[in-house]
Amino acid sequence: MNDKINKTLNNLKKRTFSPYYYETAEEAIEKVFELIPKDAKVGIGGSMTITNMDIPNLLKNRGNQVLMAGYTDLPKEQIYRQAAFADVYMTSANAITCDGEIVNIDGRGNRVAATIYGPPVVIAVVGVNKITDSLEDAIKRARNVASPQNCVRLNKKTPCAITGKCSYCYPPETICRNTVITHFPSSGKQYYVILVNQELGY
Ligand code: SF4
């Protein structure tokens, strides 16, 4: 483990997150399974990290009710609402600073809302590619790495979908409507951060 990862883990701990570190995605998945009871309802926010790790399918096959678009027949709006009242909420992050702060930018806001005031347990699985040196770099990363790729994926006609750089665009197309910095877990919430020593998501 390098100094940057070590520093991030220590600072997450100081901020009362519950951090774990694994070398591989497979080990991280084992930890996720250990943290989530088999009968828990699990809300999952849109996340390439979680999707690429196949966590929604693995949980579903284990018997968990998974509330994520594409993994249930419920209409999208109901999925978002029910996910906010699930037992556990899973997501990744757009960036994590070495200082132990988590940055996310959302369009609809369901993901950030659920991590702030939703299920009592939040689990974020995050590749080390998302660690930044400062809060400023974390926001830059969200706007110049994560959001442009999300715009391409979602077929949004934003400037960043073409240039790969943020031009601070406006509605109706912008997906950057809420920038949330989580300095500490919300009161009463158990917030696990599982850092994986791999490039995961964007
Ligand atoms: S504000 Fe607009 S241009 Fe900037 S990252 Fe968000 S969607 Fe892209």
pTM (whole model) above 0.85: yes
Residue whose CB lies within 8 A of the most ligand 1 atoms, among 145, 170, 175, 202, for a mutation test: 175
Ligand 1 centroid – CA 159 distance (Å): 7
pLDDT score of 84:
95
Per-residue pLDDT at 80 = 95
Does residue 22 contact residue 28 with C-beta atoms inside 8 Å?
yes
Does position 179 have pLDDT exceeding 80, yes or no? yes
Ligand 1 binding pocket mutation candidate from 104, 106, 144, 160 (most atoms within 8 A of CB): 160
pLDDT band at 103 (very low <50, low <70, confident <90, very high): very high
The pLDDT value given to residue 32: 98
Q: Report the percent of the chain where pLDDT is more than 70.
A: 100
Specify the fold of 3-196.
Answer: Rossmann fold (3.40.50)
| Element housing 162 (H / E) | helix 159-163
Per-residue confidence (pLDDT) for residue 147, from 0 to 100: 95
Would you say 57 and 123 are in contact if contact means Cβ atoms under 8 Å apart?
no
**Domain layout of the chain by residue ranges:** 3-196
Per-residue pLDDT of 72-92, as tens digits, reads 999 999 999 999 999 999 999
For the cut 80, the answer to whether the pLDDT of residue 20 exceeds it is yes
Would you give the distance in Å from CA 8 to the centre of its chain? 16
Q: How far is the CA of 144 from the centre of ligand 1 (A)?
A: 8
- Contact yes or no for 126/200 (Cβ under 8 A): yes
**Would you say 32 and 194 are in contact if contact means Cβ atoms under 8 Å apart?**
yes
Closest residue by Cα to atom 6, ligand 1, is: 176
What's the mean pLDDT when you consider all of the chain?
A: 96
